[in-house]
Amino acid sequence: MFIEINNLKKSYGQNDSAVQVLNGVNMSVDKGQMCVIQGSSGSGKSTLLNCIGGLETIDSGSVVVNGVEVNTLDSEKLSEYRRSNLGFIFQFYNLIPNLTVRENIRVCEYLSDSPLNLDELIENLGLKEHQNKFPSQISGGQQQRCAIARALIKNPNILLCDEPTGALDSKTSKDILILLEKINKVYGTIMLIVTHNNAIKNMVHKVVYLKDGMVKREYLNESRVSASELEDL
Ligand SMILES: Nc1ncnc2c1ncn2[C@@H]1O[C@H](COP(=O)(O)OP(=O)(O)OP(=O)(O)O)[C@@H](O)[C@H]1O
Ligand SMILES: [Mg+2]
Protein backbone atom coordinates (compact mmCIF):
# COMPACT_ATOMS: atom_id res chain seq x y z
CA MET A 1 0.00 0.00 0.00
CA PHE A 2 1.62 3.27 -1.03
CA ILE A 3 -1.05 5.78 -0.08
CA GLU A 4 -3.30 5.01 2.85
CA ILE A 5 -5.97 7.38 4.07
CA ASN A 6 -7.57 6.53 7.38
CA ASN A 7 -10.72 8.18 8.69
CA LEU A 8 -9.69 11.53 7.25
CA LYS A 9 -11.75 14.48 8.44
CA LYS A 10 -11.40 18.00 7.15
CA SER A 11 -13.56 21.06 7.68
CA TYR A 12 -13.24 24.71 6.70
CA GLY A 13 -14.22 27.61 8.92
CA GLN A 14 -15.07 27.59 12.58
CA ASN A 15 -18.04 27.19 14.92
CA ASP A 16 -21.36 28.07 13.24
CA SER A 17 -19.80 28.65 9.85
CA ALA A 18 -17.79 25.42 9.83
CA VAL A 19 -18.29 23.22 6.78
CA GLN A 20 -17.43 19.56 7.17
CA VAL A 21 -15.99 18.62 3.78
CA LEU A 22 -14.36 15.25 4.41
CA ASN A 23 -16.09 13.21 7.05
CA GLY A 24 -14.13 10.02 7.52
CA VAL A 25 -12.53 9.14 4.18
CA ASN A 26 -10.89 5.72 3.98
CA MET A 27 -9.08 4.69 0.84
CA SER A 28 -5.78 3.34 -0.37
CA VAL A 29 -3.76 3.32 -3.56
CA ASP A 30 -1.11 0.77 -4.42
CA LYS A 31 2.19 1.28 -6.18
CA GLY A 32 1.72 1.66 -9.91
CA GLN A 33 -2.00 2.31 -9.74
CA MET A 34 -3.90 4.98 -11.59
CA CYS A 35 -6.97 5.99 -9.64
CA VAL A 36 -9.89 8.20 -10.67
CA ILE A 37 -11.70 10.19 -8.00
CA GLN A 38 -15.24 11.19 -8.88
CA GLY A 39 -18.01 12.98 -7.04
CA SER A 40 -20.34 15.91 -7.57
CA SER A 41 -19.11 19.48 -7.46
CA GLY A 42 -18.29 20.43 -3.88
CA SER A 43 -17.95 16.82 -2.74
CA GLY A 44 -14.37 17.43 -1.62
CA LYS A 45 -12.26 15.97 -4.43
CA SER A 46 -9.81 18.85 -4.65
CA THR A 47 -9.69 19.05 -0.87
CA LEU A 48 -8.77 15.38 -0.71
CA LEU A 49 -5.98 15.82 -3.27
CA ASN A 50 -4.68 18.82 -1.34
CA CYS A 51 -4.67 16.83 1.90
CA ILE A 52 -2.71 14.05 0.22
CA GLY A 53 -0.38 16.62 -1.28
CA GLY A 54 0.25 18.20 2.10
CA LEU A 55 -1.20 21.51 0.90
CA GLU A 56 -3.97 21.45 3.51
CA THR A 57 -3.90 20.58 7.18
CA ILE A 58 -6.37 17.95 8.35
CA ASP A 59 -8.64 17.84 11.41
CA SER A 60 -8.18 14.18 12.28
CA GLY A 61 -7.34 10.79 10.83
CA SER A 62 -4.18 10.17 8.87
CA VAL A 63 -2.62 10.37 5.42
CA VAL A 64 0.17 7.83 5.16
CA VAL A 65 2.41 7.86 2.09
CA ASN A 66 5.11 5.25 1.71
CA GLY A 67 4.98 4.59 5.45
CA VAL A 68 5.24 8.26 6.42
CA GLU A 69 2.36 9.94 8.22
CA VAL A 70 2.23 13.16 6.21
CA ASN A 71 -0.09 14.97 8.61
CA THR A 72 2.49 14.86 11.42
CA LEU A 73 5.36 16.43 9.46
CA ASP A 74 6.66 19.88 10.36
CA SER A 75 6.80 22.43 7.56
CA GLU A 76 10.38 21.64 6.60
CA LYS A 77 9.73 17.90 6.37
CA LEU A 78 6.49 18.61 4.55
CA SER A 79 8.33 20.59 1.88
CA GLU A 80 10.78 17.73 1.56
CA TYR A 81 7.88 15.27 1.24
CA ARG A 82 6.33 17.33 -1.55
CA ARG A 83 9.67 17.86 -3.24
CA SER A 84 10.66 14.24 -3.33
CA ASN A 85 7.31 12.55 -3.92
CA LEU A 86 4.79 14.74 -5.67
CA GLY A 87 3.91 16.27 -8.98
CA PHE A 88 0.80 18.41 -9.38
CA ILE A 89 -1.22 19.02 -12.52
CA PHE A 90 -4.15 21.42 -12.48
CA GLN A 91 -6.97 22.28 -14.84
CA PHE A 92 -5.44 25.66 -15.55
CA TYR A 93 -1.83 25.11 -16.16
CA ASN A 94 -0.26 27.74 -13.94
CA LEU A 95 2.70 28.21 -16.23
CA ILE A 96 5.01 31.16 -15.64
CA PRO A 97 4.15 33.55 -18.48
CA ASN A 98 7.53 35.19 -18.92
CA LEU A 99 9.46 31.92 -19.09
CA THR A 100 9.65 29.76 -22.19
CA VAL A 101 8.30 26.20 -22.30
CA ARG A 102 11.78 24.84 -21.69
CA GLU A 103 12.43 27.26 -18.82
CA ASN A 104 9.07 26.47 -17.23
CA ILE A 105 10.09 22.81 -17.09
CA ARG A 106 13.64 23.55 -15.94
CA VAL A 107 12.37 25.49 -12.95
CA CYS A 108 11.42 22.16 -11.41
CA GLU A 109 14.45 20.20 -12.56
CA TYR A 110 16.64 21.26 -9.65
CA LEU A 111 14.05 19.93 -7.18
CA SER A 112 15.33 16.41 -7.69
CA ASP A 113 18.71 14.78 -7.29
CA SER A 114 17.80 12.42 -10.10
CA PRO A 115 15.58 14.30 -12.56
CA LEU A 116 14.54 12.85 -15.88
CA ASN A 117 16.49 13.94 -18.92
CA LEU A 118 15.10 17.31 -19.97
CA ASP A 119 15.59 16.86 -23.72
CA GLU A 120 14.08 13.38 -23.70
CA LEU A 121 11.07 14.58 -21.77
CA ILE A 122 10.55 17.53 -24.10
CA GLU A 123 10.81 15.18 -27.05
CA ASN A 124 8.46 12.60 -25.52
CA LEU A 125 5.82 15.18 -24.76
CA GLY A 126 5.96 16.54 -28.29
CA LEU A 127 7.26 19.90 -27.16
CA LYS A 128 10.54 20.05 -29.05
CA GLU A 129 9.43 22.54 -31.65
CA HIS A 130 7.70 24.66 -29.00
CA GLN A 131 10.36 24.64 -26.31
CA ASN A 132 11.55 28.18 -26.90
CA LYS A 133 8.08 29.72 -27.13
CA PHE A 134 6.25 31.43 -24.31
CA PRO A 135 3.00 29.99 -22.92
CA SER A 136 0.93 32.69 -24.66
CA GLN A 137 2.30 31.50 -28.00
CA ILE A 138 1.13 27.89 -27.75
CA SER A 139 -2.26 26.14 -27.59
CA GLY A 140 -4.08 24.94 -24.48
CA GLY A 141 -3.13 21.33 -25.09
CA GLN A 142 0.50 22.27 -25.59
CA GLN A 143 0.39 24.31 -22.39
CA GLN A 144 -1.05 21.33 -20.54
CA ARG A 145 1.72 19.12 -21.93
CA CYS A 146 4.23 21.67 -20.66
CA ALA A 147 2.57 21.60 -17.23
CA ILE A 148 2.74 17.80 -17.26
CA ALA A 149 6.41 17.91 -18.22
CA ARG A 150 7.04 20.31 -15.38
CA ALA A 151 5.33 17.96 -12.92
CA LEU A 152 7.24 14.98 -14.30
CA ILE A 153 10.78 16.31 -14.65
CA LYS A 154 11.63 15.31 -11.10
CA ASN A 155 10.18 11.84 -11.71
CA PRO A 156 7.72 11.92 -8.79
CA ASN A 157 6.29 8.81 -7.18
CA ILE A 158 2.84 10.34 -7.24
CA LEU A 159 1.12 12.59 -9.73
CA LEU A 160 -1.90 14.46 -8.42
CA CYS A 161 -4.09 15.62 -11.30
CA ASP A 162 -7.06 17.91 -10.69
CA GLU A 163 -9.20 17.99 -13.83
CA PRO A 164 -6.21 17.56 -16.13
CA THR A 165 -8.39 17.58 -19.23
CA GLY A 166 -11.06 19.95 -17.95
CA ALA A 167 -10.12 22.76 -20.30
CA LEU A 168 -9.31 20.65 -23.35
CA ASP A 169 -11.24 19.38 -26.37
CA SER A 170 -11.80 15.67 -26.81
CA LYS A 171 -8.90 15.00 -29.19
CA THR A 172 -6.39 16.87 -27.03
CA SER A 173 -7.79 15.20 -23.90
CA LYS A 174 -7.13 11.82 -25.44
CA ASP A 175 -3.55 12.78 -26.31
CA ILE A 176 -2.98 13.87 -22.72
CA LEU A 177 -4.48 10.66 -21.32
CA ILE A 178 -2.38 8.50 -23.65
CA LEU A 179 0.61 10.37 -22.31
CA LEU A 180 -0.35 9.82 -18.66
CA GLU A 181 -0.93 6.14 -19.38
CA LYS A 182 2.52 5.87 -20.94
CA ILE A 183 4.17 7.57 -17.98
CA ASN A 184 2.38 5.23 -15.57
CA LYS A 185 3.55 2.24 -17.58
CA VAL A 186 7.17 3.34 -17.96
CA TYR A 187 7.79 4.79 -14.49
CA GLY A 188 5.07 3.15 -12.37
CA THR A 189 3.96 6.61 -11.31
CA ILE A 190 0.90 6.53 -9.06
CA MET A 191 -1.76 8.83 -10.44
CA LEU A 192 -4.75 10.26 -8.67
CA ILE A 193 -6.97 11.84 -11.28
CA VAL A 194 -9.92 13.98 -10.26
CA THR A 195 -12.33 14.28 -13.14
CA HIS A 196 -15.95 14.94 -14.05
CA ASN A 197 -15.41 13.04 -17.28
CA ASN A 198 -17.08 9.67 -17.12
CA ALA A 199 -14.95 7.98 -19.74
CA ILE A 200 -11.59 8.37 -18.01
CA LYS A 201 -12.45 5.84 -15.30
CA ASN A 202 -12.36 3.10 -17.93
CA MET A 203 -8.59 3.40 -18.37
CA VAL A 204 -7.55 3.36 -14.70
CA HIS A 205 -6.97 0.58 -12.17
CA LYS A 206 -9.18 1.96 -9.44
CA VAL A 207 -12.24 4.20 -9.11
CA VAL A 208 -13.37 6.03 -5.98
CA TYR A 209 -16.65 7.95 -5.60
CA LEU A 210 -16.92 10.60 -2.94
CA LYS A 211 -20.28 11.57 -1.50
CA ASP A 212 -21.24 13.37 1.69
CA GLY A 213 -17.60 13.56 2.68
CA MET A 214 -17.04 9.83 2.49
CA VAL A 215 -16.10 7.15 0.01
CA LYS A 216 -19.47 6.00 -1.24
CA ARG A 217 -18.18 3.39 -3.62
CA GLU A 218 -14.77 2.06 -4.59
CA TYR A 219 -13.82 -0.62 -7.06
CA LEU A 220 -10.96 -2.10 -9.01
CA ASN A 221 -11.42 -1.92 -12.75
CA GLU A 222 -11.08 -5.48 -14.05
CA SER A 223 -11.56 -4.57 -17.70
CA ARG A 224 -9.35 -1.59 -18.35
CA VAL A 225 -9.23 -0.19 -21.83
CA SER A 226 -6.29 1.73 -23.19
CA ALA A 227 -6.54 5.50 -23.33
CA SER A 228 -6.47 5.40 -27.14
CA GLU A 229 -9.74 3.43 -27.09
CA LEU A 230 -11.65 5.80 -24.84
CA GLU A 231 -14.85 7.22 -26.29
CA ASP A 232 -16.91 10.31 -25.43
CA LEU A 233 -14.10 12.28 -23.88
N1 LIG B 1 -10.31 27.27 1.29
C2 LIG B 1 -11.61 26.99 1.54
N3 LIG B 1 -12.29 27.68 2.49
C4 LIG B 1 -13.58 27.40 2.75
N5 LIG B 1 -14.30 26.46 2.12
C6 LIG B 1 -13.69 25.76 1.16
C7 LIG B 1 -12.31 25.99 0.81
N8 LIG B 1 -11.97 25.13 -0.17
C9 LIG B 1 -13.07 24.41 -0.43
N10 LIG B 1 -14.11 24.77 0.36
C11 LIG B 1 -15.45 24.17 0.37
O12 LIG B 1 -15.29 22.78 0.56
C13 LIG B 1 -16.20 22.04 -0.26
C14 LIG B 1 -15.44 21.06 -1.13
O15 LIG B 1 -14.66 21.80 -2.07
P16 LIG B 1 -13.73 21.09 -3.14
O17 LIG B 1 -13.07 22.17 -3.90
O18 LIG B 1 -12.88 20.09 -2.47
O19 LIG B 1 -14.82 20.34 -4.02
P20 LIG B 1 -14.64 19.55 -5.41
O21 LIG B 1 -15.23 18.20 -5.24
O22 LIG B 1 -13.24 19.64 -5.86
O23 LIG B 1 -15.60 20.39 -6.38
P24 LIG B 1 -15.44 20.70 -7.97
O25 LIG B 1 -15.85 19.45 -8.67
O26 LIG B 1 -16.43 21.80 -8.19
O27 LIG B 1 -14.04 21.12 -8.22
C28 LIG B 1 -17.02 23.09 -1.00
O29 LIG B 1 -18.23 23.27 -0.31
C30 LIG B 1 -16.16 24.32 -0.95
O31 LIG B 1 -16.95 25.46 -0.97
MG1 LIG C 1 -12.27 20.59 -7.46
| pLDDT value, residue 172 | 85
Ligand 1 and 41: CB distance under 6 A: yes
| pLDDT value, residue 233 | 86
Q: Please report which confidence band the pLDDT of residue 124 belongs to, taking 50, 70 and 90 as the band edges.
A: confident
Best of 8, 9, 10, 19 to mutate for ligand 1, by most ligand atoms within 8 A of CB? Answer: 19
Ligand 1 and 44: CB distance under 6 A: yes
Share of the chain above pLDDT 70, in %: 100
Gap from CA of 42 to ligand 1 centroid (Å): 5
CA dist., res. 50 & res. 174, Å (int): 25
- For 1-61, the DSSP string reads --EEEEEEEEEES-GGG-EEEEEEEEEEE-TT-EEEEE--TTSSHHHHHHHHTTSS--SEE
Ligand 1 and 14: CB distance under 6 A: no
Claim: this prediction has a pTM higher than 0.85? yes
User: What class does CATH assign to 3-229?
Assistant: alpha beta
Q: What is the mean pLDDT of residues 70-86?
A: 94
Ligand 1 and 51: CB distance under 6 A: no
The protein residue whose alpha carbon is closest to atom 2 in ligand 1 is 12
Q: Please report which confidence band the pLDDT of residue 78 belongs to, taking 50, 70 and 90 as the band edges.
A: very high
The protein residue whose alpha carbon is closest to atom 24 in ligand 1 is 41
A 10 A CB-CB count for 41 gives: 6
Ligand 1 and 19: CB distance under 6 A: yes
